[in-house]
Chain A
């Protein structure tokens, strides 16, 4: 205690890293270079080679360091990143990429098609410890006719291919050839070709990136990006309040309750929301009775009030979904509407399916009551959704027991073995509409992703056709039809798609508001921090 009081007294004069509060953060400034943006993430990357690391903490940092052949523009359409152009052959089996001229790695060495070929070989190598090789293994021939051309051939047209080349970060051959990619020190000391390069990684504390003068994409405005690893959400928020970090992801409570109640925070921070790439759903085990009966599934769908879940769990910060695609993108069928909340219809459907009240408020048929266990993972939002579902289903005569499980147990013990009645889970979605692994009837083996056991020949055919069709308009028609069948058959009940919520300090300018479909992070290179608004930094 004495020591603490001593410290308190002695350091009350210590460095003031914040800017004086009299600065008007709302004023307009012209874009300029320089400054440091500090944000907080909950996890530390395990490494910075995206194909190996896999977790979101890694890709969030690595996306500033490495470039792919293609990327998504702000409207989620493809555009060239390292590639200047790309062409699909008439038979849709060959894709040819032409690289931009004079590309360089951050260490000054030229970036050529040989690097792309090398990266493809790495990701398809059986010795590479990556779960993401399957898309690239479909390439039967990869070649480099010259230093700026990269050509891949497929045995048959494969539509997700284009998307897969937007997801493969190109790695430098000259630094990685002959090394074991799984354990190489490169993972902690990467060299890329994007806007930023690694300046310093303090393990367990933070990663700092600094501008890459040889960037293949031109120059970003902000000089330095620092990501601090702060696992606790409340501690992150305190750091934000104390002006020690510039940006963090908010929970719905922080966004909708705490911020509005604190004017001093509103003075310094701007709030942003963007539609996330995931949705929450209630899934049935279709191999178990009575979930093989479409009437039961539809009844449950009608009995659940989705708006109540959005209002109660997400505090209104989300949208209902009616297809497994991000609302507002071309793949989401705009004509589809979620099942309305209609308990009377639910009861009628259950009665039609032969279920009668046995006197205790729970429906039963042939002595078998509608009583199920609902499993979900340790995730507050999913748990709360489960409770709301439990209550609504009770009103139509279905009894639910909720069981909350730790993630690895949930997946290992229950999902892989298909040992469940109902689950509340989420899918985060790649931007390509191909969902073969989730809905196709061939994907039901233990460990595969059609663990609900969905089996519909029409859907199978659509999924197969969608994979073979590279024309975006024709694909759209296919996936709109797919979504229509899924909604009608109700193998899962779409619950909600939550917004990604962000607080960013007003000293950071150039952020698009509202966020474009691709999200806030799509144009970070255009963000800037005007000189008068910068934090004072420690100088030697």
Chain B
């Protein structure tokens, strides 16, 4: 088991290097660099100053040399500084001599995106599990059909459209929920529990919208898994032994049906750090999606690479965790 783990971990290194090299090359295929996107079209700015900038960031060197320089920093887990005019660190906070802390860009954007995604994933599982089970138990009858219709509607509705309608309904027509942003004006003067409640209200719509589109996948997955299991011989055996239906469904069937869900959850780990540009723009949430999108438009290479590297590392780790959990659970079940 341990040697398997070590082997998997070892193979992640060349895989990561390969992924980052390909990402780096593709990123440089797009025309333009930071000097074309930033002040690139202000007649008051001069070409010499832009050339100076290119040299400062080594953009005048061949791509492969630039990659080498990046990799050299990366092995020390140094994500570098943004090319944008603020030159903020991409990931880690930096501290100057006076002790002023400049927060890292990803470090600042990550918590809020993680919070929204974790809440939304939690909400999805909370709702999709019972929906899937009910669907399976009432296969092809009215409840199944309406649940399927509902989750597909949620999947098919454009999120930005529904978001705007919900904002209008709950924020303009009624004063139920805040429209956008993360905090109310003057929220810092509130007691901590009021502050938390205020934040929760601000998060309600974004989490709801992002969960709605994810319901379809998980609930259908649970439904089909359940149907598969319910037709297995051991379920028939369990039933014929005279076990109560509840016990058959929830103890024997559901547990086995949930096993493949672990793979799905493992695969969704990298998705947790990715935000939706559209949702973040509409709700004015300073998250990862907007950070990445702006970095791409600006050709801010260190930030793009930082986010891609973290994303690919998390994908690999997520796969590994899913495999391990799978192996462990099979082991436990087999042991029973």
Pairing of A with B: yes
- What does the 1/0 interface line of B292-311 toward A look like (CB < 8 Å)? 00000111000000000000
A188 within 8 A of B: yes
- Contact of A203 with B108 in the complex, beta carbons under 8 Å: yes
A372 within 8 A of B: no
- Contact of B164 with A413 in the complex, beta carbons under 8 Å: no
Interface of A is mostly: loop
Known A-B contacts A230-B181, A408-B299; A14 and B174 likewise in contact (beta carbons under 8 Å) = no
- Contact of A448 with B47 in the complex, beta carbons under 8 Å: yes
Residues 215 to 257 of chain B near chain A (Cβ within 8 Å): none
Among B103, B184, B281, contact of A15 (Cβ-Cβ < 8 Å): B184
Among B112, B175, B186, B284, contact of A12 (Cβ-Cβ < 8 Å): B175
B336 within 8 A of A: no
A438: chain B residues at CB < 8 Å are 43
CB-based nearest B residue for A417: B31
Among B40, B51, B175, contact of A14 (Cβ-Cβ < 8 Å): B175
A537: chain B residues at CB < 8 Å are 185-186
Q: How many residues of B contact A (CB 8 A)?
A: 78
Among A7, A36, A126, A203, contact of B52 (Cβ-Cβ < 8 Å): A126
Bound: A241/B44 CA distance, A? 38
- Contact of B46 with A226 in the complex, beta carbons under 8 Å: no
A134 within 8 A of B: yes
Residues 525 to 540 of chain A near chain B (Cβ within 8 Å): 537-540
Min C-beta distance of B108 to chain A, whole Å: 6
- Contact of A131 with B45 in the complex, beta carbons under 8 Å: yes
- Contact of B32 with A539 in the complex, beta carbons under 8 Å: no
A228: chain B residues at CB < 8 Å are 181, 284
Known A-B contacts A189-B100, A407-B37; A4 and B167 likewise in contact (beta carbons under 8 Å) = no
CB-based nearest B residue for A436: B43
Among B45, B56, B112, B170, contact of A8 (Cβ-Cβ < 8 Å): B170
Min C-beta distance of A440 to chain B, whole Å: 11
- Contact of A238 with B172 in the complex, beta carbons under 8 Å: yes
A38: chain B residues at CB < 8 Å are 185
- Range class of the A interface residue count: 35 or more
Selected interface stretch from A45-53, A306-314, A387-395: A45-53
B283 within 8 A of A: yes
- Contact of B187 with A413 in the complex, beta carbons under 8 Å: no
Residues 373 to 429 of chain A near chain B (Cβ within 8 Å): 406-409, 411-413, 416, 427-428
B123: chain A residues at CB < 8 Å are 3
Min C-beta distance of A236 to chain B, whole Å: 8
- What does the 1/0 interface line of A31-64 toward B look like (CB < 8 Å)? 0000010100000101100001111000000000
A331 within 8 A of B: no
Bound: A462/B163 CA distance, A? 55
Known A-B contacts A235-B164, A538-B190; A409 and B43 likewise in contact (beta carbons under 8 Å) = no
A435 within 8 A of B: yes
- Contact of A538 with B52 in the complex, beta carbons under 8 Å: no
Bound: A229/B182 CA distance, A? 11
A261 within 8 A of B: no
B87 within 8 A of A: yes
Bound: A486/B98 CA distance, A? 55
A472: chain B residues at CB < 8 Å are none
B201 within 8 A of A: yes
Among A4, A226, A428, contact of B185 (Cβ-Cβ < 8 Å): A226
Bound: A47/B87 CA distance, A? 10
Known A-B contacts A234-B164, A235-B164, A537-B185; A134 and B49 likewise in contact (beta carbons under 8 Å) = yes
Q: Report the 9 A-B pairs with minimum CB-CB distance, sorted nearest first.
A: A204-B286, A412-B32, A131-B45, A408-B32, A413-B31, A185-B100, A538-B186, A447-B47, A412-B31
Identify 24 residue pairs between A and B in the complex whose beta-carbon atoms are under 8 Å apart, listed by A's number. A3-B123, A7-B200, A8-B170, A14-B201, A46-B86, A54-B38, A55-B39, A131-B39, A131-B45, A134-B46, A134-B49, A204-B182, A205-B181, A226-B185, A239-B180, A242-B172, A242-B175, A407-B37, A408-B31, A408-B32, A408-B299, A413-B32, A416-B36, A448-B47
